[in-house]
């Protein structure tokens, strides 16, 4: 009986430790939301004035990206709802062409954002930006993970 009680308490203690550990990991996990922003600031060694300008540029970039993504969502909604409602192939092709133009616009928004960051850099920071742009090239050219079923 004594041994059974010991194992029950041990099991309860291990369960409690696991719950606390999981809670700790959830609360203290690093935020990837500010990861790229912080990385650019640190890697380029931006001054306080540059950081202010950079954060303003980020805000503008986010607004432009949200508008572009909203347009894509609306076009996709129209396309796939129309598919079930007898939309003509000509209209479907027109929407697909608009989607392609919107994807091009997104890449232009990204490119202009990074051009703006480059213009923000001092001559000393230009080399660091070159290294950062090499990382960006790897990041943007890397295939996205496929969704698992």
Tens-digit pLDDT profile for residues 67-126: 999 999 999 999 999 988 889 999 999 999 999 999 999 999 999 999 999 999 999 999
CA distance 41 to 43: 6
Domain count of the fold of the chain? 2
Which tens digits make up the pLDDT trace of 124-143?
999 999 988 888 777 767 66
23-27, 36-40, 93-97, 116-120: range with lowest mean pLDDT: 23-27
120: CATH:
1.20.120.1490
Residue 110 belongs to some domain of the structure: yes
Quickly state the pLDDT bin for 2 (edges 50, 70, 90). Answer: confident
Residue 30 has pLDDT above 70, yes or no: no
User: Taking a C-beta distance cutoff of 8 angstroms, is the pair 59, 37 a contact?
Assistant: no
Residue 62 belongs to some domain of the structure: yes
pLDDT average, residue stretch 25-33: 65
The residue with tokens 């990861």 is 35
CA distance 30 to 10: 32
Residue 21 belongs to some domain of the structure: yes
With H, G, I as helix, E, B as strand and everything else as coil, classify residue 140: helix
Residue 149 belongs to some domain of the structure: no
Residue 148 belongs to some domain of the structure: no
Residue 95 belongs to some domain of the structure: yes
22 with 57, same domain? Answer: no
CA distance 59 to 48: 17
CA nearest neighbour of 65 among 101, 106, 103, 26: 106
Residue 124 belongs to some domain of the structure: yes
pLDDT average, residue stretch 45-60: 95
71 with 134, same domain? Answer: yes
Per-residue model confidence (pLDDT) at position 137: 75
51 with 119, same domain? Answer: yes
38 with 26, same domain? Answer: no
Mean pLDDT comparison of 4-13, 45-54, 134-143, highest-scoring range? 45-54
3 with 47, same domain? Answer: no
For residue 9, give its domain range: 1-30
Dihedral of CA 116/120/123/124: which sign?
negative
Distance in Å from the first CA to the final CA of the chain? 48
Quickly state the pLDDT bin for 147 (edges 50, 70, 90). Answer: low
39 with 109, same domain? Answer: yes
How many angstroms from the chain centroid is the CA of residue 148?
19
CA distance 99 to 74: 10
């Amino acid at each position: 009986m004594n041994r059974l009680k010991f194992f029950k308490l041990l099991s309860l203690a291990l369960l409690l430790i696991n719950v606390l550990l999981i809670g700790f990991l959830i609360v203290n996990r690093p935020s990837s939301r500010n990861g790229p922003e912080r990385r650019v600031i640190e890697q380029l060694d931006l001054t306080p004035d540059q950081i202010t300008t950079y954060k303003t540029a980020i805000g503008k970039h986010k607004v432009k990206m949200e508008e572009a993504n909203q347009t894509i969502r609306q076009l996709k909604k129209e396309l796939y709802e129309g598919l079930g409602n007898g939309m003509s192939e000509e209209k479907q092709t027109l929407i697909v062409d608009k989607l392609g133009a919107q994807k091009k616009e997104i890449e232009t928004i990204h490119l202009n954002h990074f051009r703006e960051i480059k213009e923000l850099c001092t001559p000393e920071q230009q080399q660091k930006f070159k290294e950062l742009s090499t990382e960006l090239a790897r990041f943007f050219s890397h295939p996205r993970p496929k969704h698992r079923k």
